[in-house]
Structure 1
C-alpha cells in the first residue's frame, strides 16, 4: 500500500517545518515565510528509495598518510586564487551574486576554459534559452569551445543526462533555484526543491569525480536565497560582488574546505567578458585626486593579498536637525563609533555636519584596520587640508582612542612601497620585518596624535 502524502509547512527562510500554518516562523521569527508543501517521496538519486540495513565500517585513526587533494587548473588565475589553487574533483561550489553582476558570464568563461584544455564541460541553463547562451558565447568569442549545453530544469532529466556523460569534468547548474523534482509537490525555488536538487547533484558529482558548480539567487540583504543548509552541504561558497556603476567585480570566498577563506579575485567587466586584474591596487588608485581634501589611501589585506584602496570622506555643514551619515563600502556602525571617538577623545565634533564616506572602486571593506585611514580622511575633509599624497594609513582604533596593531604589517608596507608610496602612518605597537622596506614610518599610539597632525599640516 502506498504511503499517504504528508503535508507540512516549510519556512522558506530557515527551512524549519511546522504541522500547521502560522504568520510567523517559530524558528527564525520571520513573517509570512511558511509555505505548504507535500512530500510524496525521496528525491531521485538520493539513495533513499527504500530502507536498508546498515553495516559496520572500519574506523581509521588520525595518524596516517593521506593523498594530496588534486586540482584542476581553470586557466583563470584570479579564480584559482580564490578556490585555493584550482577546482577539486568531486567537490561542489556555490556562487551567488546580484542579478546582472556577471555570474553567468564567469561560468561560461570557466566552462569554455576547461573544455579548451581537453576536459568535458556541461552547462545546464534553467533561466535562459540555448540561443541566449549561444549569443553570449559569440560575444565573448567562445562559440567554438566544445561545451555541452542544455536548457533544462527537470531534475530527473538532468541526472539521466549526467549518467550518460560519466566523463564530465565540470557541471554547471544555472541556477539551483530553477530546478524541480516531480516527487515533491512544491514550486521550484522552495526549500524542499532546492535541498533535494542540491543533495542529488552533489551525490552524483562525488560518485563520478566531477566538479559541480551551482549558481544561487540572492536575497535583498545580499545573502544566498534558501536555507543555510545548502551552504553547509557544498564545499565552497563564493560571492560575486560589485556596484552596477563600476566595471570592477570582486569574487570572494566565504567558505572553502580545500583552501583559505576571505580570499578575493578581481575582475573587470568589459565588452569581451570578464577580464582578470593582475594588480588591483593600481586599478583602485588609478583615478585618484591626491590634491583634494578628504582622501586617504588604506593599505589593506584581503585574504592573503595586500590591497591598496582610496577612502574618500566629505564633511559638510548640515541644515538638518539630525545630520546625515551615509556610507558606501564600509560598515555604518563602524563610522558612528569612529565619529564618537573623534568627538570624545580628540575634541573634534561632527555634530553639526553631514558625513559621507566612500570606498573608491566599489570595494567593500570589513577589516578593522581601515579605521585609521577613515579617520584621516574625515579629519582632512573637516579641516579642509589635503593629506600627503605619498602616505598610506592602516590601524584599528579602540573606543579609548588607542591605535591598535594590524596583522601582516610587512605585507602592507611592501605593497605600498612597490606602488611608489614613500611613507606610512601605522600603529605604535607591532613588530615589522624591515627587510627590503625603506618607507618613512610614523607610529601612532593614540588617535589624538593624528588629529593634531592633520589639523596642523599646511
Structure 2
C-alpha cells in the first residue's frame, strides 16, 4: 500500500500531512497496489533487424492531409500526419481556438470526419465563434462540450473521426481517477491515453496546452516528450500578426515558421512577409535601417527603427519591442566603446516594424546603424540591407543562410548589401552589390555615420 499526492503524483509508503514535492496540505490519498501478472514473452519472430536489411517496404507510410491553411502545413512539414499527436500551445487570447476551428472546418469541408471537443466553452459559445468567423456548417464537423475523458472516448467510438481536436487537455478529468484536472499526474495519464488513441486507431489528435507565466508549456515535460509535434503560436495580443513555430516535429523539420494575420473573420496567411513588414514612405527618415531576418529557413526583409532622444531624467530609458533588451544594452556599449558617440544621456527606443519578435543576432549590424543614424540625425540608404553579427570588440561576423537572405532582398528590389568581411557570396547572385566591412568603425565610415 502506498500514498499518492493528488496534486503532483508524489508517491510514499507513509502518509504525510504536507507533500514534500509540491508543498500541498492534506493532498495524499491511499492507493492499493496489486501484483500484476507477468507479461508473456514476446512471440517468436520479433527479432532485431540490421539497418542494411531495412527496405522501403518495411517503412510505415505516413499519409498526410492538408489543414486548409498553407502556413500551418508548412510548419507541419506538408500537412497533418494520420495517427499523429500534436500539441498546440500559446498565451491566452492569442488565437489558438480560432485557428483550430478554422482547421476543423477546412478538413471537414473535404469530407473527413472531425470531432472538436471544447472543455472550456459551451456549445453555444463555440457556435457563436463559428458564426463570427463565417465558417460553413459542414455536416462532417461534430462538436462536443465536455470535460470528461469517458465522453470523448464514447464519441470517438461512435464517429471514428479522422481528426480529433481537444481544447484543452488541462481541463479534462477521468471518473476512475482521483487526480485533479490539470495536475501533473492527470496530464501524464491523459496524454498517454490520447497517444494510444492516435497510434492504435490512426486518428490525428491535436491537443491544446496552456502555458506558464514563463511562456513554456504547463505540465510535466513528459507531455512534450510524448507527443509527435509541438507547436507554439506567438505574437503581440495588441497586433494582428501571429507566428507559428514548430519546436518539435517527428515528421518534418523544425526550421519552418508560419506567419498569419488575425482579423475579424479569422486568420489570413501572410504569404509575402517582406512586403508586409516594409513601408515605402517618402521623406527624411533617420534611424531606419533594413536587414534580412532568417526565421528558420524563411528569409524576410524587415526595418529596424530607432529613436534616440535627449533624456530629461538621470537614468535614461531603454525600450525594445521585438528585440532582446539585453542585446540592445550590449550593442549600445559596443558602439560607445569603439566610437565617440555617447548614449548615456539619451533615451533609446528600438522596434522592428510590423510587430515581429526575434532573437536572431544577424540584425546586430542593422541595429547599430539604426542607433547611430538616429543619434546623428542622418538618413541611411533605403536600397541597402545590413546583415552581420557584432562581437564585443566591434568586429563584424558572418551570418548563416546568406544565399536565401540575398535572394529575398533582390526580390523586393534591394540592390546593395553590407556584409562581414570574409563572407562568401554565391557567384550566381550577381544582381546585388556587396560591400564588406570587418569592424563597425569601417562600416560607419563607409555609410557616412562618423561624428
Same fold, judged at TM 0.5 (above): yes
Q: CA deviation at 1:320?
A: 2.9
Q: Supply the distance in 2 between the matched residues of 1:180 and 1:307 (Cα, whole angstroms).
A: 44
Counterpart of 2:88 in structure 1 is 95
Counterpart of 1:431 in structure 2 is 424
Q: CA deviation at 1:41?
A: 8.2
Match of 2:148 among 137, 151, 154: 154
* Post-superposition CA distance 1:34-53 (Å, at most 9, x none): 993647589xxxxx995441
Q: Supply the distance in 2 between the matched residues of 1:50 and 1:299 (Cα, whole angstroms).
A: 60
The change in CA–CA distance for 1:17 and 1:390 in structure 2 (over 3 A counts) is: farther
User: 1:438-457 residue pairs with structure 2 within 5 A?
Assistant: 438-454=431-447, 456=449
* Unaligned segments of structure 1, at least 5 residues: 26-30, 43-47
Q: How many residues align?
A: 441
Contact 1:392 1:424 in 2 (8 A): yes
Match of 1:294 among 275, 287, 298: 287
TM-score normalised to structure 1 length: 0.89
SS at match of 1:90: coil
Contact 2:363 2:388 in 1 (8 A): yes
Q: Is 1:308 equivalent to 2:301 in the alignment?
A: yes
Counterpart of 1:45 in structure 2 is none
Contact 1:413 1:437 in 2 (8 A): no
The change in CA–CA distance for 1:165 and 1:222 in structure 2 (over 3 A counts) is: same
Q: Is 1:76 equivalent to 2:69 in the alignment?
A: yes
Range with greater deviation from structure 2 (435-444 or 172-181):
435-444
Counterpart of 1:329 in structure 2 is 322
Counterpart of 1:28 in structure 2 is none
Q: Is 1:8 equivalent to 2:5 in the alignment?
A: yes
Range with greater deviation from structure 2 (414-423 or 58-67):
58-67
Q: CA deviation at 1:348?
A: 3.0
Match of 1:386 among 370, 379, 383: 379
Coordinate RMSD, CA, aligned? 2.6
* Unaligned segments of structure 2, at least 5 residues: none
Q: CA deviation at 1:186?
A: 2.8
Counterpart of 1:53 in structure 2 is 39
The change in CA–CA distance for 1:304 and 1:456 in structure 2 (over 3 A counts) is: closer
User: 1:14-413 residue pairs with structure 2 within 5 A?
Assistant: 36=27, 38=29, 40=31, 51-56=37-42, 57-63=46-52, 64-66=54-56, 67=59, 68-145=61-138, 146-166=140-160, 168-286=161-279, 291-413=284-406
TM-score normalised to structure 2 length: 0.90
Q: Supply the distance in 1 between the matched residues of 2:254 and 2:335 (Cα, whole angstroms).
A: 33
Contact 2:7 2:179 in 1 (8 A): no
Range with greater deviation from structure 2 (301-310 or 427-436):
427-436
Range with greater deviation from structure 2 (203-212 or 143-152):
143-152
SS at match of 2:80: coil
The change in CA–CA distance for 1:170 and 1:437 in structure 2 (over 3 A counts) is: farther
SS at match of 1:244: coil
The change in CA–CA distance for 1:196 and 1:287 in structure 2 (over 3 A counts) is: farther
